[in-house]
């Protein structure tokens, strides 16, 4: 179906700044190129990445103007030349990261380490729009037991959390895992993945309501980090042993305590630093306690297909805090920026 003379509404950042810098624009509906498909978007979930693109990150240029949105779902409505793995009308979700597909790392299943790796809504236009263009290789079958809103809410956070805990930390049954900010999308995913692997989960959050919801997801112990020293609580809960794994993504505000929370031989894995980039700690802790510090970004597409299977089996589930119309994208950014949500904030066109 040609998009000639037709337009779509989309959420665009033209210059960095506050939530008011996310604007709704009309653009021509794009046509898919070779190996691409066009999706009629049904839902788009926000991530902290959307805030970084909107706010700007020192030393990291973004190719503005940018249509935001790395997590989205919808219906395939146009195929580019050479596409054989999709048909018009397919209900799909999207793997948010893309790579060259031909280098040694891609062929070895480490596509997230490809030198040409990019993310929709960060490196190229994303899915916070009525229509989006994606590589056909990035299509995921929409889980049959999920709505479009739920299908937009799982890819990035579950892919990230799975890679952190399973690929990077090699999580084992019986281990203790400290999950920070369990009310975030990636935190709520990490609680579930850790429990799936028969770990004991200690979850932190800033309010009692978030702690209650973390408990519902399976957390064995919860800590309000605004009221107590979470590192001291972790030591108390574990009988002074500490956590085998600390799931970090908040950075500066929690990093010193996260290091103190680790057991001898423990692993700290991090995918972000939402509270700041300056992670202070006593270097002696690193070698004296034989600790491992692991960085992690995204994950492989193969891992994401594993997540889809587990979601369809009812073993994992995305958590949605609220669904808002696209016109309220600025409100959605404020909710995420103020950490008012538990789980994901989703927009519908």
Per-position DSSP letters for 183-221, written without gaps between them? TSHHHHHHHHHHHHTT-EEEEEESSHHHHHHHHHHT-SE
Nearest to 80 by CA among 31, 143, 7: 31
Angle formed by the axes of helices 48-55 and 329-337, nearest 10°: 100
pLDDT at 280: 86
CATH architecture of 158-295: Alpha-Beta Complex (3.90)
Q: Using the structure block, give the residue that is written with the tokens 């709505």.
A: 147
Q: Using the structure block, give the residue that is written with the tokens 């788009």.
A: 44
Q: What is the pLDDT along the chain (349 residues), one digit of tens a residue?
A: 444 559 999 999 999 999 999 999 999 999 999 999 999 999 999 999 999 999 999 889 999 999 999 999 999 999 999 999 999 999 999 999 999 999 999 999 999 999 999 999 999 999 999 999 999 999 999 999 999 999 999 999 999 999 999 999 999 999 999 999 999 999 999 999 999 999 999 999 999 999 999 999 999 999 999 999 999 999 999 999 999 999 999 988 999 999 999 999 999 999 988 888 888 888 999 999 999 999 999 999 999 999 999 999 999 999 999 999 999 999 999 999 999 999 999 999 9
The answer to whether 98 and 120 have CB atoms below 8 angstroms apart is: yes
- Burial class of residue 220, CB neighbours in 10 A (0-12, 13-18, 19+): middle
CB neighbours (10 Å) of residue 150? 23
Q: How far apart are CA 230 and CA 181, in angstroms?
A: 12
Q: Quote the tokens at residue 337.
A: 């920026």
Element (H, E) at 330: helix 329-337
- Interacting residues of 197 by C-beta distance below 8 A, sequence separation 6+: 165, 166, 171, 172, 173
- Interacting residues of 293 by C-beta distance below 8 A, sequence separation 6+: 267, 268, 270, 286
pLDDT at 2: 41
pLDDT at 274: 86
- Residue 46 region by backbone torsions, left for phi larger than 0, else alpha for psi between -120 and 50, else beta: beta
CB neighbours (10 Å) of residue 57? 11
* Third-level CATH fold of 7-154+318-348: Quinone Oxidoreductase; Chain A, domain 1 (3.90.180)
Predicted TM-score (pTM) of the model is 0.95
The answer to whether 295 and 318 have CB atoms below 8 angstroms apart is: no
Q: Quote the tokens at residue 175.
A: 């281990």
| CATH 3.90.180.10 location in the chain | 7-154+318-348, 158-295
Nearest to 117 by CA among 102, 128, 127, 132: 102
How many alpha carbons fall within 13 Å on the CB side of residue 30? 21
């Amino acid at each position: 179906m040609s998009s000639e003379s037709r337009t779509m509404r989309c959420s665009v950042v033209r210059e960095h700044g506050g939530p008011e810098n996310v604007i709704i624009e009309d653009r021509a509906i794009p046509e898919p190129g070779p190996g691409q498909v066009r999706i009629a978007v049904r839902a788009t979930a926000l991530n902290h990445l959307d805030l970084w693109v909107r706010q700007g990150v020192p030393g990291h240029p973004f190719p503005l103007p940018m249509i935001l949105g790395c997590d989205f779902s919808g219906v395939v409505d146009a195929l580019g030349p050479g596409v054989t793995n999709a048909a018009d009308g397919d209900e799909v979700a999207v793997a948010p990261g893309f790579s060259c597909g031909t280098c040694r790392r891609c062929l070895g299943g480490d596509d997230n380490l490809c030198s040409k790796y990019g993310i929709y809504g960060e490196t190229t236009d994303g899915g916070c729009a009525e229509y989006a263009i994606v590589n056909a290789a990035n299509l995921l079958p929409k889980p049959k037991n999920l709505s479009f809103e739920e299908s937009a809410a799982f890819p990035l956070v579950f892919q990230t959390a799975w890679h952190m805990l399973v690929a990077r930390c090699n999580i084992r049954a019986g281990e203790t895992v400290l999950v920070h900010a369990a009310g975030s999308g990636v935190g709520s995913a990490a609680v579930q993945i850790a429990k799936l692997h028969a770990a004991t989960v200690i979850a932190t959050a800033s309010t009692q309501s978030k702690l209650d919801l973390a408990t519902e997801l399976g957390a064995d112990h919860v800590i309000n980090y605004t009221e107590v020293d979470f590192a001291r609580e972790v030591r108390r809960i574990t009988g002074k042993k500490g956590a085998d794994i600390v799931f970090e993504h908040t950075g500066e505000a929690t990093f010193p305590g996260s290091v103190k929370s680790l057991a001898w031989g423990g692993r700290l894995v991090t995918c972000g630093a939402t509270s700041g980039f300056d992670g202070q700690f006593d270097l002696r802790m690193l070698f004296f306690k034989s600790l491992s510090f692991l960085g992690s970004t995204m994950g492989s597409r193969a891992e994401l297909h594993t997540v889809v299977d587990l979601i369809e089996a009812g073993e994992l589930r995305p958590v949605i805090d609220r669904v808002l119309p696209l016109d309220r994208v600025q409100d959605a950014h404020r909710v995420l920026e103020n950490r008012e949500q538990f789980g994901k904030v989703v927009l519908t066109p």
